[in-house]
Amino acid sequence: MANQKGDLISYRPDIKLLDATIRDGGLVNDFRFSDEFIKALYKTNVKSGIEYMEFGYKASKELFKTEDFGKWKFCDEEDIRAIVGENDTNLKLTVMADVGRCDFRKDIIPRSESVIDMIRIATYTYQMPGALEMIEYCHDLGYETSVNIMAISSSREEDVRKSLELVCNSPVDVIYIVDSYGSLYPEQMRELANQYITAAEAVGKKVGLHMHNNQQLAFANTIEGIACGASFVDATMSGMGRGAGNCFMEQMLSFLKNPNYKLTPTLKFIEKYIKEEREKGSVWGYDVPYMLTGAFNRHPRAAIAFIKEQKSDYDALYQDLLYEIS
């Protein structure tokens, strides 16, 4: 078992914060953010000292209609440059590419021609051959790479172990623990983090954390993973993200003792722009239906539909989920 790394007083310079507000938050509003929101978020991340900012997805325009989504579903190079210019800052930029949902050979250009620094590859265990191909391709183009192995709480332990072995033998830089369903408890996070970190450190790779807040444990699981030695941390402004949302960026900035982090710019962004997003009708955050899907280790789609339809018969959802697992 790995020893605890760091304490509550000192800070670990290896820890990097990644703002995933546009990408995970875009799942709430179909990526229809205003340019003002995106520019303000970019400036906020720079001022706050956050190390990475994810703009959205590199989704296939053959599979997804451009008129059905905002531009951050596709993250064309010119759209990112319209926000950041040449990005003459310390903030690194990322996009996510889902295995099977992107035309990576066509849409991902060489790093030397792009303002993007890192490509994050999202995969399920059964898609691992495709993920490895994308990791190799993006690495050879000059990008930093990470891999997010999704839905591990519902995957067979052997499949997770084998996937971890395969990505450790790839040129990927960061391997993410992803609690897709918000179903993990800190004790489980400790076991997973020790498993991932032991494997990753043996081959010189980092481990990242991407948590969902179905059981109000995104922050707890994140700091548990950090204590075990994870060093890349995903968070979003006020937890904005699919369903119950994610770990709160403002919590991470106030928890981590990095003297380069500044909380004030993030708080000012939240009080204006996150408030406006909620007023536009974007809905995310802990609610009873998400607690139920998290407790049952189920995809939150049933809870998302329940809340969208403004239902309130929680026990009916509970009984449906009980029936489903029985």
Q: What digits encode the pLDDT tens for the residues 278-325?
A: 999 999 999 999 999 999 999 999 999 999 999 999 999 999 999 988
pLDDT digits (tens, 9 = 90+) for 103-118: 999 999 999 999 999 9
Whether the predicted pLDDT of 50 surpasses 60: yes
Q: What is the mean pLDDT of residues 230-240?
A: 98
Whether the predicted pLDDT of 1 surpasses 80: no
Selection from 249, 232, 75, 228 nearest residue 145 by Cα: 232
Q: What is the pTM of this model?
A: 0.97
How far apart CA 231 and CA 91 sit, in angstroms, is 17
Q: Which two tokens stand for residue 305?
A: 């539909």
Whether the predicted pLDDT of 198 surpasses 80: yes
Whether the predicted pLDDT of 9 surpasses 90: no
Those residues with Cβ within 8 angstroms of residue 224's Cβ, 6 or more apart along the chain or in another chain: 186, 189, 190, 193
pLDDT digits (tens, 9 = 90+) for 173-187: 999 999 999 999 999
How far apart CA 193 and CA 208 sit, in angstroms, is 9
Q: What is the mean pLDDT of residues 192-220?
A: 98
Confidence of residue 274 (pLDDT cuts 50, 70, 90): very high
User: How many other C-beta atoms are found inside a 10 Å radius of the C-beta of residue 27?
Assistant: 18
How far apart CA 233 and CA 18 sit, in angstroms, is 6
Phi, psi for 300 (deg, rounded to 5): -75, 5
How far apart CA 35 and CA 105 sit, in angstroms, is 28
How far apart CA 307 and CA 242 sit, in angstroms, is 12
- Res 2: pLDDT: 55
Torsional class of 229: left (φ above 0), alpha (ψ -120 to 50), beta (otherwise):
left
Whether the predicted pLDDT of 3 surpasses 80: no
Q: Is 98 exposed, middle or buried (0-12, 13-18, 19+ CB in 10 A)?
A: buried
Q: What is the mean pLDDT of residues 176-201?
A: 97
Residues of the chain with pLDDT > 90, as a percent, come to: 96
How far apart CA 17 and CA 49 sit, in angstroms, is 9
Whether the predicted pLDDT of 214 surpasses 90: yes
DSSP strand pairing (232-235 vs 16-19): parallel
Q: What is the mean pLDDT of residues 46-72?
A: 98
Beta-bridge partners for 95:
119
DSSP run (H or E) holding 35:
helix 35-48
Q: What is the mean pLDDT of residues 218-222?
A: 98
Selection from 271, 263, 207, 292 nearest residue 16 by Cα: 207
